[in-house]
Amino acid sequence: MNEVLVTGGAGYIGSHAVQELIRAGVKTVVLDNLSSGHLKAVRCPCFYQGDIADSALVKHIITRHKIRSVIHFAARSLVAESYARPELYFYENTVKSFMFLEAARQAGAENIVFSSTAAVYGNPPPGPITERTGLESVNPYGASKRMIEDYLEWMGKVHQTSWVALRYFNAAGSSLDGSLGEDHRPETHLIPLVMHTALGLRPELSIYGSDYPTPDGTCIRDYINVVDLARAHVKALEGLEQGMASGVFNLGTGQGYSVMEIIEKTCRLVGHELPMTFKERRNGDPPILVADSSEIRSALDWFPQYSDLDTILGSAWKWHSKHLSGYSL
């Protein structure tokens, strides 16, 4: 595999993908503006601090390193923030991605792996979600990602760009060696918030919604270990470089867990109960989101190796208990 450019490679999922690329012997270049990523999370020596909308910089990087393949993570990803500031999300995610992808194409990039999201499905009908499940924009974040998928499809048709969009469900956990983990500012993901509460870094855990049509009244999600997500990006890039057809793939395990199941399992892991309070549901939160990932299993021989709940929670606890201030330590 030739040298690869990773945008957002200082972020949670991007940094794990860079680590997997390095382990696979792939020379990797990271571009990140560090607006939400962490320099300490970058696991390769070739790092550029800059914005994906800086077309001159993008062209310089791709030309200098003779890059033909790109993994594009850089984006904002807070659903609540996207409701409050939709203009920010359509600019930062969609407009800037258009600018980046065009500059990359003009400079010679031929293969794109795009970090998409299950949020493009909105509020899907009951049952495992396949790639043929109807798309629905119920929040600006999901809509901003869906537009990029549409643009990639047209890049393929008009410019013969090869691409894969990976729609992943709930990224969770940390690297198995404890060197990389989840450090968002602010933190909105359930498992880190549970860990922070268990460590006494938060006074209590807020649970949004107790009246969902689920067995215990809390919403159910498909949690996939970030290492398995990273492996899927490497597999997708290898597939494109070997001539695989462009398209979209779901990334999940096919197994859903409720909020209360996550909390109860964590309590057993850490050996004590957690203080918690129930609050109203948040806008746009579907009761159940579980992936059917049979397409990528068949096409790329990918399957989740580290996404059982014990491994996810154990790796998250390993990271958070040793990095009480995240990458600030």
> Amino acid letter at 216?
D
Catalytic residue among 48, 89, 121, 141: 141
> Amino acid letter at 218?
T
Distances (CA, A) of 47 to 7, 63, 97: 10, 15, 19
Instruction: Judge whether 306 counts as a catalytic residue.
Output: no
Three-state SS for the chain is: CCCEEEECCCCHHHHHHHHHHHHCCCCEEEEECCCCCCHHHCCCCCEEECCCCCHHHHHHHHHHCCCCEEEECCCCCCHHHHHHCHHHHHHHHHHHHHHHHHHHHHHCCCEEEEEEEHHHHCCCCCCCECCCCCCCCCCHHHHHHHHHHHHHHHHHHHHCCEEEEEEECEEECCCCCCCCCCCCCCCCCHHHHHHHHHCCCCCCEEEECCCCCCCCCCCEECEEEHHHHHHHHHHHHHHHHCCCCCEEEEECCCCCEEHHHHHHHHHHHHCCCCCEEEECCCCCCCCEECECCHHHHHHHCCCCCCCCHHHHHHHHHHHHHHCCCHHHC
* Residues classed as catalytic: 141
